[in-house]
Amino acid sequence: MNPARDADELAHSLLPDDADVLASHAHDESRLTERATPGVVLAPPDTAAVADCLRVAGRRGWSVVPRGAGSGLSGAANGPEGAVVLSTHRMASILSIDPDERLAVVQPGVVTGDLRAAAAEHGLFYPPDPGSVAFSTIGGNVATDAGGLCCVKYGVTGDFVLGLEVVLADGRVLRTGRRTAKGVAGYDLTSLFVGSEGTLGVITEITLRLLPAPRAPLTMVATFGSLVAAGRAVTAVTTSGVDVSAVEIMDRTTLTAVDDLTRMGFDGDVAAMLLVQSDGPDAGDALATVASICATADALDVAVGDDPEEGARLMEARRLALPALERQGDWLLDDVCVPRGRVVDLLAHVEEVAADVGLTIGVFGHAGDGNMHPTIVFDEADPASRAAATRAFESITARALDLGGTITGEHGVGRLKRDWLQRELGETSMDVHRALRAALDPAGMLNPGNLFDGPDRRPEAGPGSRG
């Protein structure tokens, strides 16, 4: 193989062969996942360049790891030693927004918050709002089928994806979906790629459904003396049928960490806080109903605000939950989702696990749809602490399955939960997964080791190697 020739072939996409560049593209934000230094980082500027990259990779026998902003929490952007990382950060244009059809067409590197802001300028609304909305990208959101704070009303990313442009492993360009309000011709290939975590192709263009902009939401805050009491309130709210757009929870550990970061003056004696929003036409009445439900569930204090800006500040504090807990030590974040009626059971189990392993576990998440993020704080340099964190993580994940839930609500499987996937899906489903992957990428070139074990194509020398 001729590294110089390889570099010439991919000159349009090749980033500097620099140790800092390689190190910064070696992994995402996950913990306790395997990671290795890539051989080279490619940043193609357009679809044609992506196709070139994959064709060359196929000929040379390289593994290719697609990467968005690197903000993922499951290890899906971590590749084997010497792999090619293909970053989509240069494809970051909002190609069009059609107010009449309520559509947006974007490249994968567009930051989610930027699309939401651009849609708002047209009186439109792009609902998905992951906690990383200010820096995660649409391509990564699609690849993991990301959720967010308003999923309880609006759903997840996949609910707004109408069509995709995808470069397949052999360099062919596939277009899926449609731009019409209805369309059922052929298999739903769009949904196949949503949530595929870079194992079936590289997404280069996304057509998204937009909604009319809702009114600015009103916010209710309720505090509770125990996490389980807050969980009972969540169950009552979500089964009441009241129109809410977000139901978020933070426990005492998380609230204390957020207050240390923001100095917002949260009461340190509170065991849990619920943040509930409604953006419907009768938001005031909806939140009055929620307030009554919380009072019945033994809330310590309930307050309904009429200032949208104050509500926005409270929701921003919720988005700071993970950054705040990061300051407490090393962390391992879980992402499990259970039926809404079993949230109380999950929260009770988390408290038991924390006491059993002797570690701090901060709990926050999208309580309205049962998607919780228990975050284990530990010392990664201490083998005993690391082992305790792993036990806690596995116990919480197992309990979610036992409660009829899932191992991941929005972060994806990646490498972090790869070994759990078969336990949730079963052997027949795994066979179908492997068959689909083999049909689109028979050599296992794309993101080997992600989602489930597959061929690990480690080249003798990648394009950036000196071997």
Task: Write down the H helix ranges in 336-382.
Answer: 343-357
Domain(s) labelled CATH 3.40.462.10 in the chain stretch across 218-402
Please report which confidence band the pLDDT of residue 4 belongs to, taking 50, 70 and 90 as the band edges.
very low
For 354-381, how does the pLDDT look when each residue is reduced to its tens digit (9 = 90+)? Answer: 999 999 999 999 999 999 999 999 999 9
Q: Residue for token digits 């926005």? A: 312
> Domain 94-212, what architecture?
2-Layer Sandwich (3.30)
Burial class (CB in 10 A: 0-12, 13-18, 19+), 200: buried
Residue ranges matching CATH 3.30.465.10 in the chain:
94-212
User: How many angstroms separate the CA atoms of 443 and 266, rounded?
Assistant: 54
**pTM score, whole prediction:** 0.92
Lowest-confidence region among 113-117, 264-268, 345-349, 416-420: 264-268
Residues for the chain: how many in total?
Answer: 467
Rounded distance between C-alpha atoms, residue 400 and residue 186, angstroms: 35
The predicted-structure confidence for 396-443, as pLDDT tens digits, reads as follows 999 999 999 999 999 999 999 999 999 999 999 999 999 999 999 999
**Phi, psi (rounded to 5 degrees) for 296:** -65, -30
- pLDDT for position 17: 82
Under 8 Å CB-to-CB from 381, ≥6 apart: which residues?
none
Q: How far apart are CA 374 and CA 395, in angstroms?
A: 11
218-402 carries CATH number 3.40.50.2300: no
